[in-house]
Structure formats: structure tokens, C-alpha cells
Chain A
Amino acid sequence: MQIEEGSTPIIADVKNVSYSYNNSFSSSIILDNISFTVKEGDLLGIIGPNGAGKTTLFQCMLGLLKDYRGEITIFGEDVRKIKSVLKKIAYIQQKNLIDQSFPATINEIVSFGITGKKESSKEKEKDKILSVIETVGLYEYRNKRIGQLSGGQQQRVLIAKALIADPKLLILDEPTTGIDQNTQDKFYALIRKLNHENNITIVWASHDLDAVGKLANKVACINKSMFFHGNAYEFFENEKLLKAYSESAMQAHMHLHLNKHASNNNDDTNPHIIKENKL
């Protein structure tokens, strides 16, 4: 882990990361020279419109994509080279990627979080599973199957699965997509608790500017390239910045919509290409 003298340890350091999607017909830039740091205890909100590259950025940070340019170190290690660093990280994807028909109880799914890790005894393992299930408020549902739960409850199961591994870094990729407002509020309360009480460093991608504004202490605003990185209040108090971001997000949304429409008639068009992404 990198430690600058007299300052908080740096958990993640992303330096000049660029990633392009290439095939025989075209090349498109997904990320362009992204740089930011995440310090211990941060709750970094990453905001950007659809197609901005947030998920791709996370895939690079987690070593799922290795052919990016630039450097990413987490806890001081290059995730492309040192896989053991992944054991300190938990990653939660969007809810709609869960197989609703998978025959596993909440207990079994949460136990995935400690798969491959040695616990001192089966009893301790069982106690740990029940403890995290209780932390996320799902104790009474522990023997139900994942498909029997609501969207918000399913997301809490994934959080429990993440927590049981005692992560030092939690990466959330738009975890509240498709969830009602009331459930979202409960989810955000849980995130706040994990960051403030459990001291877990969190990197969180979201469209919800309101929620990010309330919870995050740092913000990184990307739309293929880095638009802003700094303290959350600097971003949200600056009307010009907010306006510029909203306009670019709308522009990006329009281009994405037009390209998706064009791709229905033209197989060669990649809906992720946004031709103009200048902010």
C-alpha cells in the first residue's frame, strides 16, 4: 500500500489509463487517459452518463481487462500481476445480472464470499455467515432462494457476500439500478454505515447525483476522459461544473440513443461509440 508521508494511505492509484475496443472493422476509445487516487476511508462517487466507461474502468481496476494502457495499483500492487490483492477487494455488479432461477439459498450465496479462504472451523464459518446476513437485515430470509427476494433484498445479499470476506475496498457498479426509491434509501444508509463505522473504502459508480452528493466525500466525473476529480463539495457547489456535466450527459445520452437506433438498421454500428464526447 502506498503511503505518502504525513497523509492517508492510498488504496487505489489509477494513472493515465486508456482502453480501446478494437475489432476488424473499427476502433473505439472507451477510456481516455483517466487518472485518480482513492485514499483509505474515501467514499468516491464515480459519475458519468451511459457509455462513459465506468464499468470498463472497474474491469480494468479488477484485472478483468488486462490490455489497457497506463497503470493501476491497488494496495500498492499491479492487479494484472498480483492476483492475491483481489482478496482484499469486493465487487458488486448491477442487480439484473443475477440468475433468478439459481437454486441456492441466501446462506449458500453468502458463503461464496469465503470460498477458497480457510476458516478455523465450520462452526465459525457458519457464525460468520449468519452475522453478515444479520448486518444487512436479512436474517429471517436466510433459507430462502435468491429468486424469492425483491431487487433490494438481492442487492443486500450481494453486499453480505462481499462483507463476509472482510474487504478493505468495496467497488459498487450502479448497484441501485431498477430499485424503488425507498429501497435505495435503505441501501444508501447501509453504504454510509459501512464507510463510516466499518471504515471500508468505497468506490461507487452511479447516475444518482443526489445520492452521490449526500454520501460521497470525493467525486470523479468521467465521460471517457476525466472531467473532474476532487472533493465532492467542490463539484456540487460549482454551478458551472454541474451545468457543463449535465449538458455533456444529455449530449452523450442523445448520441447513445441515436447510435442504438442506427444499429437496429446497421449491424456494423457499435452502440457504445459516442462520436462527440468533448465536455
Chain B
Amino acid sequence: MQHALITGAAISVICSIVGLFLVLRRHSLFGDAMSHVAFGGIAIGLFTNVYPIWTAFIVSVLAAIGITKLRESTKIPADSAVAVLLSAGLATGVVLISLSNGFTLDLYSFLFGSILLISIQDMVVSVVLSAAVLIVMSAIYRKLMYITFDEEQAKVSGLDVGKLNYIFIVLASITVITSIRLVGVLLISSLIVIPNITAMMFGKGFRKTAVISALVAVFSVLSGIMISYILNLAPGGTIVIVSIGTFLTTVITKYSIGVVKGKTGKVVFSMMD
């Protein structure tokens, strides 16, 4: 349980930080696409008896770089590139699984997450990778902010936009692969997107939005893990449900405050008449 909580906290932070840039770049489904490619990589690992996380990592990073290159050189729209990525990864995985005579317990844990079963070795790898992603992101986050706000302006100011985009895409791939153990291939995009759209509802600046997003993500993951442990539920799904609950609570609270302010304003104005 302790390993699960530590790993979950580390992964949730990088998912929220990296995810904020993906959401603002309108690449929310990038996490989904990468996780489907990772599925293909995992299938390759299971098929060849190599540790699946490493094959997933190699395949995902190569695919992410390749699709970025493809988009730059042929001007394919981002959403179409995502669709190509998603389909190729999933199809490859399905074919390899069929060749290996169907699903196994191992594959199930990759599809839906298995944080409660995480070993100390996996925990160390996850925490080290998370720390590495955080260190690099903290070094380049302001440049990434500028590129996300206005890529052309960032280019004109002299930033090496191409190189920074590639670095970011590799970091995003690492984040997705590291998150597989937490919520599984099928639910990764929710961990990337939901804490960020929740944070954006607070209407703060970039730094505060990133902090709120990280807090929401950590809260969702830690609560989700504990609830799933107590109630014997699937941890991946529970985490996402808690995350969605946090989002809906924020929406309802914001709407209610808006209604109260509006009604208060109307009362004040009518008293002034």
C-alpha cells in the first residue's frame, strides 16, 4: 500500500504538469494515442519475453518522434496524426496478442492498471523517471509556455522550437508509459486531462493553475487508491471516478457561486431603483 501511494503521488504530479501543456496545445488525446501505441509495445514485450515497460517505452518514444516529424513535413492535422498513431498501436497489439493465444493476467494489469501490486523495483523506477521528467520540465517550462502560447512568436524570439517540441514529446511519452501501472492503458488520458480542466476552472495564472492541477491529481490518486483498497475495487477506475467527481464538484460549485452572485447583484440593483 505504501509503495502504491508513493508511486501514485509521483506519477500524478508529472501527469498533471505535462498534461497541462498537452491540454493547452489542444493535444488532449495525445495521451490516449500514446497509451494505445504503448499497448502495441507491451504486446511486443510479452510476445518476445522482454520486460514490457521497456518495449513500450522504446516504441512510444519512436512513434511520438515519428508522428511529430510526419506532421511537420507533410502538414497532416494533429488530430489525424493522433488517429494514425492510435490505430497502428492498437492493431499491432491485437495481432500480436492473437498470435500469442489470447489475454493473460499480465496483459490485464497493463490494460487496467495494477498499482496495488506494484513492487519496490517498479516503485523506484517510477519515482526516478517522475523526478527526471520534473527536473527537465522545471528547466524548460517557461520556454514551453511561450511556445504553447504562440509558437510563431517563440520562433521569432530565437527559441529552438523544433528541439523543444521534441524534448516535450519524449517527456510526454515517458509520462504516459510511467502511468500505465497506475490507471492502465485505457484510462491514462483521463489522468492527463481531468485534473487540468478542473484547475483551469479556477481562472488563475499559469503557475497557480499548474499547482492546483497537481493538487487535484494527487488528491484523486491517493483517495482513489485508498478507497479501492478499502472497498476492494479496481484502483485505476476508482482513481478516475474520484477525479471526475472532483471536476463535477468544481463545476457545480462555480455555477452555484455564479448564480448567487447574479441574484445578489439583481437584489442590489433593485434596491437601488
Contact = CB atoms under 8 A, between A and B. Distances in A.
A80 interface: no
Contacts, number: 70
A17 to B, nearest CB: 18
B156 A86 contact: yes
Interface residues of B, number: 23
A25 interface: no
Nearest to A87: B158
Interface stretch (A105-113, A131-139, A209-217, A235-243): A105-113
Contacts of A87: 157-158
Contacts of B153: 91, 93, 112
A125 to B, nearest CB: 11
A98 B149 CA distance: 8
Given A103-B206, A107-B205, A145-B205, A112 B145 contact: yes
A105 B206 contact: yes
A64 interface: yes
Contacts of B206: 103-105, 108
A112 B158 contact: no
B150 A165 contact: no
A84 interface: yes
B203 interface: yes
Which of A63, A97, A103, A109 has the most chain B CB atoms closer than 10 A to its own CB? Answer: A103
B266 interface: no
Contacts of A104: 145, 149, 205-206
B156 A97 contact: no
Interface string B132-157: 00000000001101101110111111
Nearest to B199: A103
Interface in B75-134: none
Interface string B183-211: 00000000000000000100111110100
Contacts of A143: 205
Contacts of A180: none
A115 interface: yes
Contacts of B152: 64, 93
Contacts of B157: 86-87, 112-113, 115-116, 165
Contacts of A103: 24, 200, 203-206, 209
B207 A62 contact: no
A172 B154 CA distance: 16
Given A103-B209, A104-B206, A111 B158 contact: no
Interface residues of A, number: 29
Which of A105, A107, A115 has the most chain B CB atoms closer than 10 A to its own CB? Answer: A115
A83 B156 CA distance: 9
A83 B207 CA distance: 30
A136 B24 CA distance: 27
Contact of A116 (B24, B158, B203): B158
A84 B158 contact: yes
B65 interface: no
B159 interface: yes
B149 A102 contact: yes
A102 B142 contact: no
Contacts of B209: 103
Contact of A108 (B24, B150, B158, B207): B207
A64 B156 contact: yes
Given A97-B150, A103-B200, A105-B205, A91 B156 contact: yes
Nearest to B148: A102
B203 A145 contact: yes
A64 B159 CA distance: 12
A99 interface: yes
23 contacts: A84-B158, A86-B156, A87-B157, A87-B158, A89-B156, A91-B156, A97-B150, A99-B24, A99-B149, A102-B149, A103-B200, A103-B203, A103-B206, A104-B145, A107-B205, A109-B149, A112-B153, A112-B157, A113-B157, A115-B143, A116-B159, A145-B205, A165-B157
Interface of B: 24, 142-143, 145-146, 148-150, 152-159, 200, 203-207, 209
